[in-house]
Chains A and B, each alone.
Chain A
Amino acid sequence: MSVLSVRDLEVTYATQAGPIPAVRGVSFDIDKGEVLGLAGESGCGKSTVVNAILRLLPAGATTSGEVLLNGEDVLAMKAGRLRAVRWTGASVIFQGAMHALNPVQRIGDQLAEAIVIHKLSAEREARLRAGDLLEKVGLPPRRLRDYPHELSGGQKQRVMIAMALTCSPSLIIADEPTTALDVMVQAQVLSLLNELQHEMGLAMLFITHDLSVLVEVCDRLAIMYAGKIVEEGPSGPVFDEPAHPYTEALAAAFPAIGDARFRKSPSGLGGDPPQPDAIPAGCSFHPRCPVAFDECATVNPDLYEAGERRRAACLLVKQAAEVPS
């Protein structure tokens, strides 16, 4: 049984200008010990997916579909069960996590808070456990007494990781955990996440716009565009030989140093990622697609088989699959 199983997730925000579909039918599974990367740019809906999983969306958002966490549907849970599951079933390392720490509370108190709320231990043991967690993320336990402003960016991020681990969840969702960090610190944090994930057998959902980071950390990748997944598969092959034109364009934005093909020839896509209130008809990518043809403007492609355990939502892939080899 998968740790997380998302089926046909749809999220619509209600705004003054009318309903806006942020997520338009997303499905994926994460097994125990597996890391799934969710990549995409602004407006693609990946942060909405993150918030939807633990029902952290603002009021006015309607959600449909199924989110099965260890077999239970989060979207159908009652409030009490939901509160219990949050942080113990799945925890989140939020975007801008460094600002998610309460500046007037010591680190140790904040870590212990999560433990105490879920009644996993009494106050004293909670502190011991907090100290253990800090060590696990590479910080000395005496830092428990520090305030957030006494820590650097990388150290705060480690504290956020520790906080995500406090209730031993089966799934960790990391929403852009390294975006604001320097490359060196980013490498440290990614290495730490990798280590912890392997050691504790965690399932992880890793969200970012930086494709090259994902390829490092993740077993499988899902690329999102305009609220839907347009390609998914094992991370190496998806990055090296993309099946969907969008993935190819995205990969080209992260050049390999030393590769002469990328030297002095930047390539990008014209136009901009569509905002959720103005999604093109047919294939949502077709206005920017370098290889689009007529049918793309009218037919909305599903995810078609594109190789071993790979799928892509592109009519060209569909055509290739139909051609007998």
Chain B
Amino acid sequence: MRPPEALPTYEEGPPTGTELEPGPPPEVPRDPSRIAWTRRRASAGRIWRTYRKNTLGMIGLAVLILFALVAIFAPLLANKEGLKATCPCNGIPFSPPSLQYPLGTDNYGRSVLTLTIWGSRVSLTVGLLATAISMVIGSFIGIVAGYRGGVSESVLMRLTDWFLVIPFLPLAIVLASVLSPSLGVIIVVIGITSWPSTARIVRAQVLSVKTRPYVERSRALGASGWHLNTRHILPNVGPLIFANTILTVAVAILSESTLAFLGLGDPLSTSWGTILENAFGTGAAYAGQWWWIVPPGLAIVFVVLAFTLCGFALDEILNPKLRQR
């Protein structure tokens, strides 16, 4: 039997077989309090490298970047005056694609290409803003309900259920009739009908993280609720929220297009939905004026598809169980 040795102090002693496998020596930052930042950068780098390998995800990202650029640089790509019905730059109404008007013209003679390019701004902006509202409300309620439990959780979850069952379309119609139709109304309607599903997902994840031993350890160390939530729960719930956000944007854009198509949108703004509304309103489908319907339709499809692909790719990265073996 070997007698136990006295535990050596910090300064002395060769390694006792508890060293790590040799690997590249990690850089120790001079100020260990910056470790959190170093770690986050390294982590983001790792996620990016893994994401790059996902072909579909990269395609989605490329498409999104393309649309984002189009929306940002819209003034350079198309003449804003072309949105007005009375612009001298407009051509003959209902004309098919030609050199001057690559996607043809609508009932006012406006270039469909101009409309589609400028429409991207509204569609994307509304989608993003509505999602932002939905995410903030949903995450906050989900985290508070999951963390506090008890009566607060019950109350919040019943509230969530109530909003969950509000039918989307009737609410939109009601609000649009009560308030004058505008972008703000659309954003609010989409926001308040999509936060409940986020809240439920977030709450489930918080419940799962809350009981993990490392959170208990933190509690045992004397951590306050704020510390637990910001240091442990949020970082573990954050990725889920992010992946969910991406998918929600897709739904929001689709919703906006739907509402605008039904005539509940702002008649003075141009979005892909309003283009389609106008087209169908003037019977473009029966007249065979495909150049008017297809571009905005395809734009919606591509953007939603792109967001969905990105969302799936992120989901695979953040949820290892979904990865291929």
List residues of A whose CB falls within 8 A of some B CB: 60, 261-262, 264-267, 269-271, 278, 287-288, 290
Contacts and interface: CB of A to CB of B under 8 A. Distances in A.
A265 B2 CA distance: 8
B18 A267 contact: no
Contacts of A264: 4
Interface string B13-37: 0001110010000000000000000
Contact of B1 (A265, A269, A270, A288): A265
Interface of chain A, main secondary structure = loop
B3 interface: yes
A290 B18 CA distance: 15
B325 to A, nearest CB: 8
A262 B3 CA distance: 10
A240 to B, nearest CB: 15
A266 B4 CA distance: 7
B17 A278 contact: no
A278 B17 CA distance: 16
A241 to B, nearest CB: 15
A270 B13 CA distance: 15
A261 B4 CA distance: 12
A261 B17 contact: no
Nearest to A287: B17
Contact of A265 (B4, B16, B21, B325): B4
> Across chains A and B, which 9 residue pairs bring their CB atoms closest together, nearest first?
A270-B17, A271-B17, A261-B1, A265-B4, A267-B2, A270-B16, A265-B1, A265-B3, A270-B18
Contacts of B2: 265, 267, 290
5 contacts: A261-B1, A265-B3, A267-B2, A288-B17, A290-B2
B64 to A, nearest CB: 29
Interface string B47-65: 0000000000000000000
A264 B4 CA distance: 9
Contacts of B4: 264-267
Given A265-B2, A271-B18, A278-B21, 17 more contacts: A60-B325, A261-B1, A262-B1, A264-B4, A265-B1, A265-B3, A266-B4, A267-B1, A267-B2, A267-B4, A269-B17, A270-B16, A270-B17, A270-B18, A271-B17, A287-B17, A290-B2
A119 to B, nearest CB: 34
A58 to B, nearest CB: 8
A266 B2 CA distance: 9
Contacts of B16: 270
A85 to B, nearest CB: 27
Contacts of B17: 269-271, 287-288
Contacts of A271: 17-18
Interface in B253-297: none
A264 B2 CA distance: 11
B154 to A, nearest CB: 26
Contacts of A269: 17
Contacts of B21: 278
B292 to A, nearest CB: 50
Nearest to B17: A270
Nearest to A261: B1
Contacts of B1: 261-262, 265, 267
Interface in B186-208: none
Contacts of B3: 265
A271 B18 CA distance: 5
A283 to B, nearest CB: 16
